[in-house]
Amino acid sequence: MTKFTVIDLFSGAGGLSKGFLDAGFEVLLGIDNDKAALSTFELNHDGAKALSLDLADPKTFQEIKRIIGDKNLDVIVAGPPCQGFSLSGPRNFDDERNKLYLAVIETVQIFKPKAFVIENVPGMATLYKGEIKNEILRRFEKLGYNIECKLLCAADYGVPQVRKRLIFMGIRKDIGIPKFPDAIFNPESYVSCRDAIDDLPSRENEIGLDVDKYIMPPKTDYQRVMRANCDVLRNHVGTKHTKLVRDTIALVPEGGNYKDLPDGWGQSRKFNEAWTRYDGNKPSKTIDTGHRNHFHYKYNRVPTVRENARLQSFPDDFVFLGTKTQQYRQVGNAVPPLLGFSIANELIKILEKEPK
């Protein structure tokens, strides 16, 4: 089988490209401006380079070409933040504040890969009544790509998390048309939080070590996949809460949130995700970049970085570097690797049918 190549723009720790790596792609490069995330990327992507570069700088493209060398660039994946979109509206798509998306478009224009995948938050589909989304579709169509976008839910692809993301897929017109992967799971068969993490040490009364041991064998198929041949447990460090915080969490029932607290409790946080305790029999809610609002379904604490990583479908041998706060951010910002894996496998089928 041909080993297709991929680079990852706005890569973060590289969840999307990890999925492509596991599907058999050769990951050449990750680009981001988060130094800790780039260290994590380079450690976990089998020899891929990780660079802190400004995609708005023309010299960046020369550096990408230097690293790729004589290899063909088959696929570009990217997760540009959408915060840059000008508040003045879609008519100013070329506004300087939109440079993150414009940089992805320019990179595709320069390298003309066989395909590209762009990930963003669901709200992108309806921003300015869909005009931003439609402008993105128009621009890539003009560059010679058949392009479609679709809202995908990570739980449909084996991720123990109800995380929805808007995915753009473009295929060069001389190669084929986009096709998104079919769902593998449904709400009745979703992988639950308990399925994902209940083999890990409790960390209820101890902080634990960054390099530790498992205390029991895996209990579920998902746990077996996440552990694979890993015999060392990393990034499973607990958080020391104040007694008030622990007592407040203890009052929230499994699957509940701040609305379930008695009067006078949890007054400092009253918003949709505040004091949310996961339901062990369901997938988690969307993992965020912090670690203050979601709590373990059983223990009176926030999930550890490793538990969040499991809920994002990062295998246990994927090690996160940096401070604990940086690690939580890397996990929360990532595309779940299992979602990336399903997209990558669908892309392989399309690319292998390329007319010779």
Q: How far is residue 16's CA from residue 157's CA, in Å, rounded to a whole number?
A: 13
Nearest to 295 by CA among 193, 189, 172: 193
What is the rounded (10 degree) CA torsion for 211, 214, 219, 223?
20
Residue 193 bears catalytic tag: no
Count, in order, helices (H) and strands (E) of the chain. Answer: 11, 11
- DSSP E strands in the chain: the ranges are 5-9, 26-32, 49-52, 75-78, 115-120, 145-153, 164-172, 211-212, 233-234, 276-277, 294-295
Q: Which pair of tokens denotes residue 337? A: 């690797």
What is the rounded (10 degree) CA torsion for 68, 70, 76, 81?
30
Q: How far is residue 124's CA from residue 93's CA, in Å, rounded to a whole number?
A: 14
| DSSP letter, residue 296 | -
Q: Indicate which residue of 82, 153, 193, 230 is catalytic.
A: 82
CB distance 269 to 179 below 8 Å: no
Q: How far is residue 12's CA from residue 344's CA, in Å, rounded to a whole number?
A: 18
Please list, in sequence order, all residues whose beta carbon lies within 8 angstroms of the beta carbon of residue 215, skipping any fewer than 6 positions away.
Answer: 201
Q: How far is residue 24's CA from residue 345's CA, in Å, rounded to a whole number?
A: 9
Task: Enumerate the active-site residues.
Answer: 82
